[in-house]
Chains A and B, each alone.
Chain A
Amino acid sequence: MSTKSKSIETKTDFNQDERLKKVSKLRLLLNRPELGALGGAILVFMFFGIVAGDTGMFSAYGILNFLDVSANLGIIAIAAAMLMIGGEFDLSIGSMIGFAGICIAIPAIYWGWPLWMSIIFAFSMAVLIGYFNGILVVRTGLPSFIVTLAMLFILRGATLAITRLITGRTQVPGLRVLIEDDPLAWIFATDTFKWVFTWLGSMNLIALRTDGTPLATGIPPSVIWFIVLAIITTWILMKTRYGNWIFASGGDKNGANNVGVPVGRVKISLFIGTAVAATIFATIQVLDAGSADTMRGTLKELEAIAAAVVGGCLLTGGYGSAIGAAFGALIFGTVSMGIFYTDVDTDWFKVFLGAMMLIAVIFNNYIRRKVTESK
């Protein structure tokens, strides 16, 4: 076959002029979805470098602080971005965080399960709920916006009702003692690279407590998870067949179906992805705080989507990047923490968040027109 059609080789002339127009390197760079977020992140760091450079923001402790906040948001933002590229939304991420939290805490505290079993239980529930979201959207053809909005209320309500039913209150404390010696919990609860910080402290390069131990004790688990997830998802999008299917499913559902892409399966797997990411977020926070709170994760779904949009994802799907969402989360995390180090009232953070998102959407829209317009 290939030799046969190889000889279809006459040069038919298309309009010469349309080919002579060279695309500049800059335009090619502009076509990368994460460019806006990268530029935004650089601007944000420059701003705080000037305004808050001499405060504690860029000390080891300060840096870890805003990295931790960014990383937590980033974990769910990356999953939200993957799903958005696949052409769908998940508004139930925030509620899933609360639900996953009590899925860990109630079995561990009230039913006497070992912590690792509760964590596995929470992740199994996440897979089930993600699958349910996905199958509902794929089978009914309803907008995922509506389906997952319903799930937002259902999960939050169920979290509250179940917790009050079993415990009589809305918080489940007492998890901290269970973390030690647990074979699984350390993955979500260990500060890493402690020796680096001990060494830096011994060299008097970073701030110390009065007892001589460094103020910043190690890289929080959220940051490690965040970096690992960003690398894996970027690799999936750029380098695997599944990644190509995600773009195709979001770009043109029917077209993708016609050439044999299993669009339904791809979308369902992405819904499972957001629910699992929410559970990673929840596990890290619950183990860090030592307690589960039914209201944990409220409004996080919107922040995740905002970060994904700032990171270059189109609301219509088919375009975006995981690394862009990571930068988006970094921008939000840095500003939300950095604002404490400036004279600006922290009330203004939400204004910034909204303005940032608006600028990003307008910019993305412009880029999309540039990318798709016919000559």
Chain B
Amino acid sequence: MSDYLVQFNNISKFFGKVIALKDVTMKLKKGEIMCLLGDNGAGKSTLIKTLAGVHRPDEGEIIVEGKKTIFDSPKDALDMGIATVYQDLALVSLMSVTRNFFMGREPMKGPPFFKTFDIDKANKIAAERMGQIGIDVRDPSQAVGTMSGGERQCLAISRAIYFGAKVLVLDEPTSALGVHQASVVLKYIVKAASQGLAVILITHNVHHAYPVGNSFTVLNRGKSLGTYEKKDISREKLLSMMAGGEELNKLEVELREMNRSSAN
């Protein structure tokens, strides 16, 4: 029995001749936040879908709580406690907070064949859960469309936790958010991890990842450039490891030269 909650060992995924992922390894303990960093096209999406059970890896193994497993479908992954919160959050903006929270998993009451959706119970739970993360839903029947981006993200995460997630896979949870909202979401992610969840945070924003992550895996062109503990790597090093880092440095130099030439 290893002390890892979940391990992805040497995962590879090919699409025809294209090598989308090659030998990516990630191991997470309870309460740990691993940040998966990579620029566009680094293979993040493919990796997420492999973690979520949408794709089956062509090579490598997935070990959940010491047992080797294969995900045949997203439902398999979910049943094992690996919940993925996609960028679109799977929220319907026209529907109420409660109806979104329990979408597809509605609490029921009443005798068989006459079971009804227990709205009162659902409202209570939704309001309670949102209250715990500091979002005061005055009225859980208000449409999700009236919530801010950060609140929506928190709702989606809170829903995953309520329905028994052990490992949270978060796809760019802060990319569409302003600085303040992003910090609220990040704070909530840290809170969730401190309660014993393992979190895989996928992002291209080192500034969001660095403060909250325990370890960092950098993905570039489908390959892992390695996993680093926080104490072993600086923010600047991480930034330059991502393809974008060098490019930005180059850009800086170019801009400086442009300024100089225009000053002359």
Contact = CB atoms under 8 A, between A and B. Distances in A.
Interface of A: 1-2, 4-15, 18-19, 22-23, 28, 31, 238-241, 243-245, 247-248, 251-252, 254-256, 258-261, 314, 318-319, 368, 371-375
B241 interface: no
Contacts of B148: 14-15, 18, 374-375
B101 to A, nearest CB: 10
A259 B90 contact: yes
B103 to A, nearest CB: 5
Interface stretch (B60-68, B111-119, B203-211): B111-119
A255 B180 contact: no
Contact of B92 (A13, A18, A31, A247): A247
A8 B88 contact: no
Nearest to B78: A260
B173 interface: no
Contacts of B93: 251-252, 372
B94 interface: yes
A11 B104 CA distance: 28
Q: Which 8 A-B pairs have the closest CB atoms?
A: A372-B145, A251-B92, A255-B90, A260-B104, A12-B134, A259-B104, A258-B90, A11-B134
Scoring A6, A238, A259 by chain B CB atoms within 10 A of each residue's CB, the highest score goes to A259
A31 B143 contact: yes
Nearest to B184: A12
Interface in B92-134: 92-95, 99, 102-106, 108, 115-117, 119, 132-134
B88 A254 contact: yes
B117 A243 contact: yes
B136 interface: yes
Contacts of A2: 162
B238 interface: no
A322 to B, nearest CB: 16
A39 B88 CA distance: 36
Contact of A8 (B104, B108, B195): B195
Given A243-B117, A372-B94, A14 B135 contact: yes
17 contacts: A4-B195, A5-B161, A239-B116, A240-B116, A241-B115, A244-B117, A245-B104, A248-B103, A248-B104, A255-B91, A258-B90, A260-B104, A314-B94, A371-B145, A371-B146, A374-B148, A375-B146
A23 B195 CA distance: 35
A244 B180 CA distance: 33
Contact of B133 (A8, A28, A371): A8
Contacts of A248: 92, 95, 99, 103-104
Contacts of A318: 92, 94-95
Interface stretch (B2-10, B34-42, B185-193, B224-232): B185-193
Contacts of A6: 132
